[in-house]
Structures are given as C-alpha cells and as structure tokens.
Chain A
Amino acid sequence: MSEQTTKNTFQDKVKKVAEEFGLPRLIITGFLVLLLVISPFVGADLPTQISNIINRFSWNGILVLAMVPMVHSGCGLNFGLPLGIISGLLGATLSIELGFTGPVSFFMAALLATPFALVFGSVYGWLLNKIKGGEMMIATYVGFSSVSLMCMMWLLLPYHSPNMVWGMAGKGLRTTISLEGYYTQALAKILQINIGNLSIPTGALLFFALLAFLMWAFLHTKTGTAMTAVGSNPEFARSAGINVNKIRLISVVMSTWLAAIGILVYEQGFGFIQLYMAPFYMALPAVSAILIGGASVNKASIMNVIIGTILFQGIVTMTPTVMNNMIHLDMSEVIRIIVSNGMILYALTRKTEGAK
C-alpha cells in the first residue's frame, strides 16, 4: 500500500513538474539537449558551441530582462522595445560623436542614453495609460513607428564623426558602425576566462547579474510590490490607495531604460552598432525568450529571463552549426522564426485561457 502511494506521488510529481514546466519548453529543452549531444558527432567543437551560447546570453540577457517590469505592472509584453533600443543607439552615437574612446565610451553611452530613455519612456508610458487593455497592440505600433521615424533622423541629425558618417557624402550615419577602438568587448574583457576553446565573458555576465539582482530587489520593495499588485488587479491596487497610472508609468520607463542599456551591452559583445531597421528585429526574440523561459503575459520572474535566454539563444546558435554540418543547409533562420513567433502565439492563447 505504502509503496503504491509513493509511486503515485512520484508519478504525480513528474506530472506536476511537466505541467509547470510547460510542453513547449520541454520540447525546446529537449531539442537543445539533442543538438548539444549530436554536435560532437557532426564535427562541431562543443566548447566553442558552449562559449557561443554563453556569449549570446550575455549580449541578450538584459534585453530580455527589460520585459519584466511591464509584465509585472500588467502592461503586457513590451513589444515597444525598439523605442528603448533607439534611446540606447542615440546614447551610443552621441558618445562616439563627442569623442569618447575605449571602455569610457561605453559608460558615457549609457549615461547619455539615460535621459532619452527617461523621456521616451515617459511619453510611451503616458500613451499606454490612455489605452488600457490594448497595450500590446499599441506597443507594437509604437515600436514600428519609432523605428521608421529614426530611419529618417539617422540621416538628418548633424553627426560629423568620420567613424560613423557615410564616406562620400560626409553626413548621415552608416547602417553599421564598427566599435573597434570604442567599447567593443568593454564588459566581456573584464575578468574574461579562457580555457582552450571555451571563453567566458565574465564582466558582461556580472553586469547582467547586477541588473538582474537590482530588478529582483526592486520587486521586493514597497514600490515593486505595488507594481505586481497593479498588474494582478488594478482595482484592488486603486482601492488600496495606489496611483495605478504612476506605477504603470514607472514600469514602462524602467523597461525602456533597460532596453537602452541592453542594446549597448549587445553592441559591446557584437562589436557593431546597427542602425536604421535593426531595432525592428530586436523585440520579437526578446519577447519569445522570456515566454520560453516560462513567463506568461502577466507573470514573469528573473528565473524566466535566465532560462528563456539560454534556451532561445542556445537554439539560435546551435542550429546553424549542427544543421550546416549535417545537411549543409542553413535552417537556423527558419527555426528561429518558427520558435519565436510560435512561442508568442502560444503565450497569447494561454492568456485568454487564464482570463476565463
């Protein structure tokens, strides 16, 4: 009898874990493990692959972290991430324009990006407060339109630094700007660990850890608690004397600022600033990463961010190498699109289920 009950509870436990973990996440984890296992057999170097995943995690982690505050305050997933990214890009280009070089340019970029992020974030937050209930759709269009506007602005703004403007015309920013001599690898190089082919960007990971810790800590403060409550039931929060709009505004500003810092960290790893349409493509991967991590439209934790980024970036980095070596065909982009859009779709259907 007792044996049977223990067996039952074990089965229940497995079932419960599977349920909590979610089927899509199980499949993606399984797929990633499979890729890791077969990679040595198809001639890919495992340490290189692992460093790739870690590196890409360090680039993207903060962009995914930027989703957390708005999810908590009930504004949904921040499809308007490009707005924050543009703030970051303004900071980056201004820092170079003003002649800062080396690692200093990174901190100047972050510093210069901050006022833009605060202003853009406030306007964006004000807008989202006007259209409660339709945040995610409006956010998407805010992202789209801000990218388009900036496509013009990058050409028109009076930048002069020869490292950034078009060679022939002498004005207008180039689509891709190399960060060589500026802040490429600025964080990654701090305490970097190299063992054979394995390389770990300790500094960038620590920077992510610092921001993630600050976010975790914030959610444990009075204001952070209020933010979660606003997301959970705005009417409850209002009756408890919370200024709901203010809390939502704070969350949007935080998210926008994190996106600005996030893109700078991304650039220092990647080595280039990408302008024009590039910010356009940053929101969906970040959204789907946090969803793969187990977040829903109204609940997200730091653990969701970490797990999700590893899984998503793992798939993105592993598939091209393994697939190319196996079938000599580049499937990675297709798989990335299927995974990211599929995940978003899945999460949105879950949302309606929860609302019942």
Chain B
Amino acid sequence: MGKAPLLEMKNIKKDFFGNQVLTDINLTLKEGEVIGLCGENGAGKSTLMKILFGADVIRETGGYGGDIILNGEKVSFQSPFDAIAKGIGMVHQEFSLIPGFTATENILLNRESKKKSVLSDLFSDRMDTLDRKDMDTRAAEAIKKMGVNIDQNMLTSNMPVGHKQFTEIARELSKEQLKLLILDEPTAVLTEKEAEALLESIRGMSKRGIAVIFITHRLGEILSVCDRVITMRDGYVVNESETKDTSIAEITKWMVGRDVEGSDADYVTEDTGVNKKIVMSIRKLWVDMPGETVRNVNLDVREGEILGIGGLAGQGKLGIPNGVMGLYQAGGTVTFDGIDIPLNNPRRCLDSSFAFVSEDRRGVGLLLDESLEWNISFPAMQIQDKFLKKYLGGLIKWRDDAAIKEVTDKYIDELKIKCTSSTQKAKELSGGNQQKVCLAKAFALEPKLLFVSEPTRGIDVGAKALVLDALKKFNKEKGVTIVMVSSELEELRRTCDRIAIVSGGKVSGILPAGEQLEKFGELMLQNC
C-alpha cells in the first residue's frame, strides 16, 4: 500500500497501582482494515481500547506509557470527546441509549439538525428548533450505511436488543468524521441472524474506508469478517496473524495458552441411566417469569446425573430453576425424594438441600459490596447454621470468622479464583471469577441437587472450562445431581448426560447428550 497507517500504537504500557495489565503493546491499523481482537477476560482488551478512546479511568489511574499515532500525528486524548473529534467511535458492551427516544433521536443525540428561529436570534443557538425532516434523512442514511433495516421511529424501549445494538452502531456511523470504529462484543446479545447482519455491515464499513476493531468471544465471527486477528493474553500480544492463515482451534490455543481441544471431546452418547432412581419429579409446572414464561413442564431428574436444559432464548428454560427455587411466582407440583416441595418459598427449597446458581450473577448471585468470605459462606451460614459458634445453649449464634476464612480459602484454591485475598470485595473480580464465587457459594451448601443457570454466560474460554470441570467434578465426587440450564448447546453436550429441550414453555423432548445436532434443532423449534 505504501500509505501511512491510520493508527499506530507503540509500546503501550499500563499499570493499575503497580499491577501491570498491559506490556509493550504494538498495533497498527490501515484505513478500511478490520482487525479482530480476542483474548480471555482480563487479558487487557478493554483496557487497551479505553486508552485509545481516552476514557477517564485511564487518566485517573495515572495515564499510560507509549505513543498513539493517528494519521501520522501523535495524539493523547484527554477525554472521549477528543477521541470522537478525531474520528474514533466506540460501541460499548452496555447500551448507552435513552429508552424514551426514537432511533432517530438517539442516533443524532446532541448533533441534531437545527432550524433558526426568532428565539434563537434573540437568545442563543440553544433555542434553535429541530429540523425533523433533515434528521430523518440523516438517520436513514446512517442506517443505510449499516446495511440493516431498523425502524427509525420506534422508541428504543420497544426495540429488541439487536435493534438497540444497531442503533448504537448507526449513531457512530452518522458521524461524518468517523475513521475508526471500535466494537466491544457487539454480537454478545444478538441472535445468529442479527449477528450475521452486523458482520455484513462491518464488511460494508470496511469498503467505505472505515477501519474497525472488533472485540468478540465468538471466534467464528472474527474469522469470517476480519483481515487480521490479534490475540492477547495477560497483557501481552501473543499472536498477530492474517485470518486466512489461522483457525479457531489455533486462536483458542493462543488465548488460553494451552490446548483446550481433545480434553473433553467425549460426549455421552447413550442413555445409560434408565434404571436409575428418579430423585426429583416436576409436574405441571408453570412459572411467571417475565420473558421466560414456563407453561406446562413435566420433568424427571435421575439421581446423580447432570441434566441439561437447553432451548432458544425466551422459551422458558430459565424459568424452570427460578420457579422451582421460589424466586418467581410458580405453580404445579415438585417432589424431591418422595417429599412435596412447596413452591414460592426459597427457604423450603434450600432446607431440602437444593442450591441454585443464578444466571443473574450481579443482581441475585453476589453481594457485590461485601467480601468473598461473606459471599461464599452466607447461604450455608443462614440455612444450615454452618460457620457459627453457639453460646448459651444456641441462643447466641456468633459468626465464626476463622471458619469462614478457612472455607473461603479452600474454595479459592480449589476453583482457582483470582483475587488478592479472601477479604477482597466481590465487585472487584472479573466476570469469570465472580462466577466461580457463585459456584463456591453453592458448593458450600453441600446440596443434594444443584441448579446451575447459564454458568458460562459472559465469561471467557479458560474460565468456562474451569467452571464446567468444577461442576463435573462436584457431580462425580460428591454424587450431587446437577440440573444445568444453558443457551449454548455445545456446552451442554459436553457436560451433561441428558439434555431436555424447552420450547414454548414446555419440554419438547429429552435426548442423550451425544445425539445428533439436527435432532436437538428439531426439538427447539417444535412448539414455538
């Protein structure tokens, strides 16, 4: 090409209070090039992008080392506004849209087309009126650039998640100076079809000369859309290659620094547990969980097995554990070991030796502001009077901090939770480690039956393997029956003995984990 690269990052270094998170990162990006950035959670991807985007947090924690050269000119952004002015756009993982505004209004927020009026002559341009027509055209143009069709007059609050994501991208595209777009896991919330459309629009952008940095955990997408892929691990760039020369397996290997393939490729292919005792049976279960309504579920769980529950999003698979555990209004009968378990009463479920790892890690699963010790020991303490010293014949139940520390350290060690100490606050851990804390919390209860809901949502490949292995080990060594709900079929197939597919709020069928993929697919679509 011979042309100077659009962006060059040289020897970027960053530490947070002495903790080195980025070391000598070098990155170049040409106009219209699409690069994929991948790495486990905590590898430093987000930090690198924050440096590039001039996020406040970088400056507040002592800035960074190294140079950023944009269009041959050395830059150092003081705030995201500077970065935007220089033509960098970023779409974050979390939506930053105003729910009560339409797509058009969100896309052009604070950059609206304006008409002069008498008032604006008298006072200032803050009194200009909006030129709705021109705004509509501009928004339509941005949406067209993206190559996806969304209703620009729809309120954001009424949109499906995918459209919200597209609105965000359109907002960045509507900025005329845009030269570089950073997409931070944009496909995490999209359905496959939407994701495909997004990838298509990335290709379109690249043709228009916009460079894209694409961060995702879905490696297949990187291969299909990126020119180059950069893999990061523990703050280093460990590999940089052309996508056409590499494969998912290779990238995964670079990411985790070890070979993940081969270790767990053996599926359970036959239904071997027909004679096993049925430990829990669910009859005519309905659960009123918003977005995950369960209508009529009949399900038998066998002792000592790992039962998977799969299905498409919104079909009710998440409602089953939440309903049985009493977190949402539910009806029907659940019997465990021949005893009826009353619904809508979390305490009684826990008393019957159930445990639940919620899919809503931050909302339900953790005490974010408290220490790991509290997080791990709390349910066991409250339900089974563990970690308590009793005085005056049990009248006073005193918290036994030493025992709590001991059990916490044990699980930190067993599950390889990365933390500074057992008194670190849960909110300071990364997603994968938080998930391990949630598991530890359930393990500490020593349940007979464990519900695990979306255990690997939002965590990286390495942590995923650890979490799934921990579950398998727990099942094998302690003989605990596990019911695992997940949207990732592949993960269920590798972990479970049998998989029940939920569709339209009902169980449409149960298959051994090793059954062919097409059969699962048929069941998924049966009742919807």
List chain A positions with a Cβ less than 8 A from chain B. Answer: 217, 220-226, 228-229, 232-233, 235-236, 238-243, 298-299
Cβ-defined contact, A232 with B367, below 8 A:
yes
Interface centre among B363, B370, B382 (most CB of A within 10 A): B382
Known contacts A221-B398, A222-B388, A225-B381; is-contact A239 B327 (Cβ 8 Å): yes
A240 near B378 with CB under 8 A, answer yes
A217 to B358, CA, bound (A): 32
Q: Indicate whether B346 reaches chain A with its CB closer than 8 angstroms.
A: yes
Contacts of A235 in B (CB 8 A): 360, 363-364
Among B363, B370, B383, which residue has its beta carbon within 8 angstroms of that of A241? B383
Q: How far is the CA of A220 from the CA of B356 in the complex (A)?
A: 26
> What would be 16 A-B contacts, judged by CB atoms less than 8 Å apart?
A222-B388, A225-B381, A225-B382, A229-B370, A233-B369, A235-B363, A235-B364, A236-B366, A238-B327, A239-B327, A239-B358, A239-B379, A240-B346, A240-B379, A241-B347, A241-B351
Shortest Cβ gap from A70 to chain B (Å): 17
Q: Which of A233, A235, A238, A298 has most chain B Cβ within 10 Å?
A: A233
Minimum CB–CB distance from B55 to chain A (whole Å) comes to: 15
Give B322-358 as 1s and 0s: 1 = Cβ < 8 Å from A's Cβ atoms.
Answer: 0001010000000000000000001101110000101
C-alpha spacing A217/B399, complex, angstroms: 10
With both beta carbons as reference points, the residue of chain A lying nearest to B17 in the complex is identified as A12
Cβ of B385: which chain A residues have Cβ within 8 Å of it?
A: 222
- Smallest distance from the beta carbon of A143 to chain B beta carbons, Å? 28
Whether A233 and B347, one on each chain, are in contact in the complex, defined by CB atoms closer than 8 angstroms, is no
Q: Which of B327, B367, B382 contacts A222 (CB 8 A)?
A: B382
Query: Quick check: A222 and B363 within 8 Å, CB to CB?
Result: no
Which residue of B325, B367, B398, B399 contacts A236 across the interface (Cβ within 8 Å)? B367
B152 to chain A, nearest CB (A): 30
Say whether A221 contacts B397, CB under 8 Å: yes
Residues from chain A with a CB closer than 8 A to the CB of B265 are none
Give the docked Cα–Cα distance between A236 and B438 (Å).
11
Q: Pick from A222, A224, A238: contact of B346, CB below 8 A.
A: A238
- Is the Cβ of B379 less than 8 Å from the Cβ of A233? no
- Are B325 and A233 touching (Cβ within 8 A)? no
A238 to B399: give the CA distance in the assembly, Å: 20
A residues near B254, Cβ cutoff 8 Å: none
**Would you list which residues of chain B between 150 and 177 have a CB under 8 Å from chain A?**
none
Question: Which 8 pairs show the lowest CB-CB distances between chains A and B?
Answer: A241-B347, A240-B379, A222-B397, A241-B350, A235-B364, A232-B367, A220-B399, A241-B346
A235 CA to B364 CA in the complex, in Å?
A: 5
| A228 and B382 alpha carbons, distance in the complex (Å) | 12
Say whether A229 contacts B356, CB under 8 Å: no
Q: Given contacts A220-B399, A238-B346, A239-B325, are A233 and B378 in contact (CB under 8 A)?
A: no
Interface residues of B (CB under 8 A from A): 325, 327, 346-347, 349-351, 356, 358, 360, 363-370, 374, 378-379, 381-383, 385, 388, 396-399
Judging by beta carbons under 8 Å apart, are B374 and A229 in contact? Answer: yes
Main SS of the interface on chain A? helix
- Which residues of A lie under 8 Å from residue B351 when comparing CB positions? 241
A130 to B347, CA, bound (A): 22
Q: How far is the CB of B270 from chain A (nearest CB, A)?
A: 36
A299 — which chain B residues lie within 8 A by C-beta?
A: 369
- Measured between alpha carbons, how far is A299 from B381 in the docked complex, in Å? 21
Q: Separation in Å of the B451 CB from the closest CB of chain A? A: 11
Q: Once the chains bind, are B378 and A229 in contact (CB under 8 Å)?
A: yes
CB distance from A8 to the nearest CB of B (A): 10
Closest Cβ neighbor of A225 among chain B residues? B399
Residues of chain B within 8 A of A298, CB atoms compared? 369
In the complex, the chain A residue whose C-beta lies closest to that of B401 is A220
The residues of B that contact A221 with a CB separation of less than 8 Å are 396-399
Min CB gap A114→B, angstroms: 20
Give the contacting residue for A239; candidates B356, B369, B388, B398; CB below 8 A: B356
B350 engages A240 (CB within 8 Å):
yes
A346 to chain B, nearest CB (A): 20
Assess A239 versus B346: contact at CB under 8 Å? Given A229-B370, A232-B370, A233-B368: yes
A239 to B358, CA, bound (A): 9
| B388: A residues at CB distance < 8 A | 222
Q: Which of these, A220, A229, A240, contacts B383 with CB under 8 Å?
A: A240
Chain B nearest CB from A170 CB (Å) reads 49
- Which A residues lie within 8 Å of B381 (CB)? 222, 225
A239-B382 CB under 8 A given contacts A221-B398, A222-B388, A229-B370: no
Contacts of A224 in B (CB 8 A): 399
Query: Which residues of B are found within 8 Å of A229, using beta-carbon distances?
Result: 367, 370, 374, 378
Chain B residues within 8 Å of A240, by CB: 346, 350, 378-379, 382-383
Query: When chains A and B are docked, how far (Å) is the Cα of A278 from the Cα of B437?
Result: 50
Query: Could you tell me the distance between the alpha carbons of A340 and B399 in the complex, rounded to whole angstroms?
Result: 35
Q: How far is the CB of B446 from chain A (nearest CB, A)?
A: 15
Closest to A221 in B: B397
Using CB atoms, name the residue of chain B closest to A228: B370
CB distance from B342 to the nearest CB of A (A): 13
Q: How far is the CB of A61 from chain B (nearest CB, A)?
A: 24
**Which residue of B has the minimal Cβ distance to A5?**
B18
Query: Among the interface residues A220, A223, A243, which one has the most CB atoms of the partner chain B within 10 A?
Result: A220
| A238 cross-chain contacts in B, Cβ below 8 A | 327, 346
A332 to chain B, nearest CB (A): 37
Residue of A nearest to B391 (CB): A221
Residue of B nearest to A243 (CB): B347
Residues of B within 8 A of A243 (CB): 347
CB distance from B441 to the nearest CB of A (A): 8
Verify B382–A226 contact, CB threshold 8 A: yes
Partner of A232, one of B347, B369, B379: B369
